[in-house]
Structure 1
């Protein structure tokens, strides 16, 4: 146990975390050179294409330092804020963390969020300045930034370049010398599940860190939060290509437990495993189920594919237990599901995986958040779908979720950024100049304001230099109303959104203008209206398409033509009364593009 080192790599997106992990794996000869590939820890195509880690992976490495053999358990973590739930579990399984910062970009928002999470778990943090071979690299400035913002001593920071293989040996030596060995307090088995996924041959698998005792093959285990018993069919040590079989996982080690379950929902990340015959006195603290923050309706474009979508979601949930979904119907879109996600990137990734892996054509409605609706009779409703909002006369007040946002930006973009944040009803809580050129901003902002296009706007206003991170804060009372869009007199439920009262008029006007361009012309005039309750606040008309009924008249009396035109007018009136307008897919996407 003295020679085991459990550590994690934490970094902002694109600071070289996956490349550094590849480097450590290669240096420890865990994978033969011919089988090695770039970002070997990222197993999904989407991860490689986008250059982000979505699913955390772990690997067990052997390394000889000062003639002693060390076991290094690298517990990889996703970098993006949407997956911070997995990050917290991974960090709880470690004794140390490598804080990787890009030598040319410096400290960014997610670096701070993940470091504070590591400090909460009382980990030994080793600062690592990566990409020192870049022409724009300035390691001394980055060291000063880390000391100023995070308050970690950087006098013994390790300078590396994962791409050029510089400083890797020094880094491995620091891991062996500076990260403490795991400690065990008890002989009763206690293991934390910090990840789970589904394997089509072995069933649901749990990735665990054993704190106390020893887990053996064929043991009967007990899950303390779920309150169920299972039998251990097999045990493995993690490896990106071929996990190694073992008969036992001892205290301080990381391993994969094969339970042969057909459903991943029976294993919860953060649960504690103990022996059924000799149960631990208490579970490992900090267990909480993943909570969805962003909700969107997902519907198949071809309505016959509803069952295929249900099967696809069932299969995807086996690999990602953090999504939640329930069936819902929409008059405009037919049958679909209201799906809960951890964040916007999570929503994008899930939709893309459904379309790619299961060959589906899907349409997603505008993302929304959970609102707390306090009714006049004293009861409280939690709603995710704007169309579920009760009538105005039954609502006392509505509470909306707020998040604490951290933004780091070059000071030349500060004015634009503050204007954007003020437009999004944000409240400033902190402003700090990290260096004369870079500013750290902290804001409380309604979550409803960031789920649409906030991140895109932030990036375009700052030419991609600003970094953004957020965490849930609390619920606050808001002056909110439901904005409905009516097409030819009928409200389209899939286009309903909840907006602040102060913005409702402008939003309604923008929406009907955008819809006017998209709704195809009919043989009768179509009115597109935005309404709050029964009050119409904006209207646009889609002109009718003229059919030339007089084309067959060659000359002759004008009364003949007039008679035909009168007949057409009567027909159009009747058509308007019973006419149905079919909306194209772009109409539902237009709501996402309104500024």
Structure 2
């Protein structure tokens, strides 16, 4: 055990985590030059295209230290984007140390700070590394000062490296061996292993990734998952190299995988504990906190017959992404589907992409929203998760919407921008305090509805990425919330309905109608797009009909001949409008999400 080290790399998005991980694997010959490619641990097409890490990946490295001893290093790569911070918290639970990576050209940024706090909460040994020191704009001394301010280390403790050229990678490996403590645990104790991830394989069933805290897992053991109380046989166990490598036993402190032939996704929970079936009093490991979704949206299959298939795909996807939550829902326009909870808008986009790519599911996503509480005149309390459940305004006494307490950490020069943004989103400033001379903390109370759409993206652009945002629920408060319907030729499209504050409704309705006018295909008849609150129309746009020039063959002669043809066309258009349907393309549902762009 004293030759095992478990560590992860934490950093802000785009500070070079995946590149540094590539160099570590290359330097230790874990990967042959033939297998080497950029972002080698990011095995999803989506991750390569967007250049971001979405899933945390684990890989085992064998390293011979300068003193000649052989070490086993388990690297768990983590994402940098705030929408995937749940992935980070799970990776940290399986490690004893973390490389804190800071870009020499950018300095410390928002996610660096929040991930660092996560690591400190988990009592991890932190090794600060400044990356990209070979870049022209590298500000090495300034960034060193920022790191010393933040974690209070000595200047000589900070390592300099370049993930692109491989400079300083040997020093990083030595520091991992010297500074990160070996895993604690008792090899003789009953087996206790923490599940930190799982993935579905159509041939082998569910493959579970875990970190052994106490005891030893052997091939053929009868194991038990504590929270579900189910027992299985360990058909295959092993460690995670670039491919899974089979072994006969995985000891204390190691990270590995187990295949037991589980087919049902509900039987595996991330954060659960694996123990031996013979253990009469299994102890649950204190796992990580429950995930709290921020954004809710409906996901529906395009063809209603594919509903069961979509349910299977959602369960398999939830295995691989434990932060996704979903429950059943029905809609008049779209049939059966799911109400899903996401951590943010990027998370929602990624889930939709993954459903299409990995499971060939074409889905329709509705407007995202949050839960409200409606109090009726009869004194009933109704929870409204979805605009269709909104009670009749005549029977409603008051509506409460959820508020949050938002904590924003930023640089002093961006305070004005943040104030303007938050107050524009109906926020109330509660407190402002300086943590250091260059970092200020702002605390706001804000309605969760205002944050759902584009708050995070705007906060990032207003502060050039120098703002970290964290929030906690702060209960419900009375609010003037109305339901806005979209009508196409007087027919309601319930998937485009939204619950919105009255002060924002006119503006939102107008923008939405304009956007739909661009996106809906023209028909042979005129389409009226209207936004309505109850019976009151607050915005309207018309899409004019496509016309064939029926008078083209009629040249010269009396005007009444042309008029007769035009009247005939007019009658046809009128009849067509009565029976014609307006198809709403998928882009229109997505457009609602991106209204302010």
TM-score, structure 1 as length reference: 0.88
Gapped runs of 5+ residues in structure 1? none
SS at match of 1:260: coil
Deviation at 1:104, TM superposition (A): 1.2
Deviates more, 1:309-318 or 1:337-346: 309-318
1:68 pairs with 2:69: yes
The match for 1:6 is 6
| Alpha-carbon spacing, 1:563–1:76, altered in 2? closer, same or farther (3 Å) | closer
The match for 1:235 is 237
Q: Hey, what's the Cα distance between the residues in 2 that align with 1:2 and 1:562?
A: 95
Q: Hey, what's the Cα distance between the residues in 2 that align with 1:307 and 1:226?
A: 24
Deviation at 1:373, TM superposition (A): 4.4
| Alpha-carbon spacing, 1:431–1:100, altered in 2? closer, same or farther (3 Å) | farther
SS at match of 1:35: coil
SS at match of 1:136: coil
Q: Hey, what's the Cα distance between the residues in 2 that align with 1:46 and 1:578?
A: 42
The match for 2:209 is 207
- Contact (CA 8 Å) 1:264, 1:319: kept in 2 or not? no
- Contact (CA 8 Å) 1:148, 1:434: kept in 2 or not? no
The match for 1:342 is 343
The match for 1:508 is 509
| Alpha-carbon spacing, 1:382–1:5, altered in 2? closer, same or farther (3 Å) | farther
Alignment of 1:83-122 (within 5 A): 83-122=84-123
1:440-498 CA-partner distances (Å, limit 9, x unpaired): 65544444323323344445555x55455434434432522221112222221011111
1:51-77 CA-partner distances (Å, limit 9, x unpaired): 211111112222233233222222222
1:17 pairs with 2:17: yes
Deviation at 1:236, TM superposition (A): 0.4
| Alpha-carbon spacing, 1:593–1:192, altered in 2? closer, same or farther (3 Å) | closer
SS at match of 2:261: strand
Aligned residues: 592
Deviation at 1:330, TM superposition (A): 3.8
Q: Hey, what's the Cα distance between the residues in 1 that align with 2:562 and 2:177?
A: 95
- Contact (CA 8 Å) 1:189, 1:280: kept in 2 or not? no
- Contact (CA 8 Å) 1:298, 1:339: kept in 2 or not? yes
1:137-163 CA-partner distances (Å, limit 9, x unpaired): 122211222233455555511111122
1:240-269 CA-partner distances (Å, limit 9, x unpaired): x22222222222222212221113331111
| Alpha-carbon spacing, 1:372–1:215, altered in 2? closer, same or farther (3 Å) | farther
Q: Hey, what's the Cα distance between the residues in 2 that align with 1:353 and 1:364?
A: 13
Q: Hey, what's the Cα distance between the residues in 2 that align with 1:40 and 1:561?
A: 70
Q: Hey, what's the Cα distance between the residues in 2 that align with 1:579 and 1:242?
A: 56
| Alpha-carbon spacing, 1:38–1:562, altered in 2? closer, same or farther (3 Å) | closer
Q: Hey, what's the Cα distance between the residues in 1 that align with 2:518 and 2:64?
A: 67
The match for 2:220 is 218
| Alpha-carbon spacing, 1:93–1:315, altered in 2? closer, same or farther (3 Å) | closer
The match for 1:35 is 35
- Contact (CA 8 Å) 1:432, 1:439: kept in 2 or not? yes
1:390 pairs with 2:391: yes
Deviation at 1:590, TM superposition (A): 3.4
Alignment of 1:562-581 (within 5 A): 580-581=581-582
The match for 2:59 is 59
Q: Hey, what's the Cα distance between the residues in 2 that align with 1:228 and 1:395?
A: 48
Q: Hey, what's the Cα distance between the residues in 2 that align with 1:45 and 1:302?
A: 26
Of the three residues 406, 409, 417, the one matched with 2:408 is: 406
Deviation at 1:554, TM superposition (A): 8.0
Q: Hey, what's the Cα distance between the residues in 2 that align with 1:233 and 1:71?
A: 24
Deviates more, 1:491-500 or 1:259-268: 259-268
- Contact (CA 8 Å) 2:193, 2:214: kept in 1 or not? yes
The match for 1:473 is 473
Q: Hey, what's the Cα distance between the residues in 2 that align with 1:132 and 1:577?
A: 68
The match for 1:134 is 135
Q: Hey, what's the Cα distance between the residues in 2 that align with 1:168 and 1:372?
A: 55
The match for 1:278 is 279
| Alpha-carbon spacing, 1:512–1:209, altered in 2? closer, same or farther (3 Å) | same
Q: Hey, what's the Cα distance between the residues in 2 that align with 1:553 and 1:42?
A: 66
Deviates more, 1:44-53 or 1:154-163: 154-163
Gapped runs of 5+ residues in structure 2? none
Alignment of 1:348-427 (within 5 A): 348-373=349-374, 380-392=381-393, 393-394=395-396, 396-400=398-402, 402=404, 404-406=406-408, 408=410, 411=413, 415-427=416-428
Deviation at 1:302, TM superposition (A): 5.9
1:165-208 CA-partner distances (Å, limit 9, x unpaired): 22222222222222222222671222111111122333212211
The match for 1:250 is 251
Q: Hey, what's the Cα distance between the residues in 1 that align with 2:199 and 2:375?
A: 38
- Contact (CA 8 Å) 2:104, 2:140: kept in 1 or not? yes
The match for 1:266 is 267
- Contact (CA 8 Å) 1:403, 1:447: kept in 2 or not? no
The alignment's C-alpha RMSD in Å is 3.4
Q: Hey, what's the Cα distance between the residues in 1 that align with 2:168 and 2:255?
A: 26
The match for 1:298 is 299
| Alpha-carbon spacing, 1:530–1:6, altered in 2? closer, same or farther (3 Å) | same
Q: Hey, what's the Cα distance between the residues in 2 that align with 1:307 and 1:382?
A: 27
Q: Hey, what's the Cα distance between the residues in 2 that align with 1:563 and 1:30?
A: 82
- Contact (CA 8 Å) 2:62, 2:70: kept in 1 or not? yes
TM-score, structure 2 as length reference: 0.87
| Alpha-carbon spacing, 1:161–1:375, altered in 2? closer, same or farther (3 Å) | farther
Q: Hey, what's the Cα distance between the residues in 2 that align with 1:376 and 1:286?
A: 44
Q: Hey, what's the Cα distance between the residues in 2 that align with 1:22 and 1:531?
A: 54
Q: Hey, what's the Cα distance between the residues in 2 that align with 1:163 and 1:157?
A: 19
